[in-house]
Amino acid sequence: MVPPGLEEVAAAALQALGAEAVRPLRRAMSLRTDLAGFYRLRLRAHLPFRFLRKLARFPCRGRADLHHGAQNAADWGRWLPPDTSIRVDASGSSPGS
């Protein structure tokens, strides 16, 4: 996430740090990088104040699909204790839009 109006400046800075396929969005960026690049951007980029990493993409027709997809997006036991809860942010579009 970047401050409003600074999307183009942030895109140039992220490209200079090695991000690929950088695309400015509204108050955000879309980009591709490997895990080392993700950490490099997180440590060296000054404009973005929050980094979100896409873990999965899956079809979702309701809450049950979202729950199942989020559970299977990563090996959560490797990262979190079993009694930990997580927050899921989702975005999507309806067919034909």
Do 48 and 17 contact (CB within 8 A), yes or no?
Answer: no
Mean pLDDT of successive 10-residue stretches along the chain, which has 97 residues: 91 94 91 93 88 85 91 89 85 69
Measure the CA–CA gap between 78 and 92, rounded to whole angstroms: 28
The pTM of this model reads 0.65
Do 13 and 47 contact (CB within 8 A), yes or no?
Answer: yes
CA 55 to chain centre: 7
Do 27 and 1 contact (CB within 8 A), yes or no?
Answer: yes
Domain ranges for the chain, please list them: 1-76
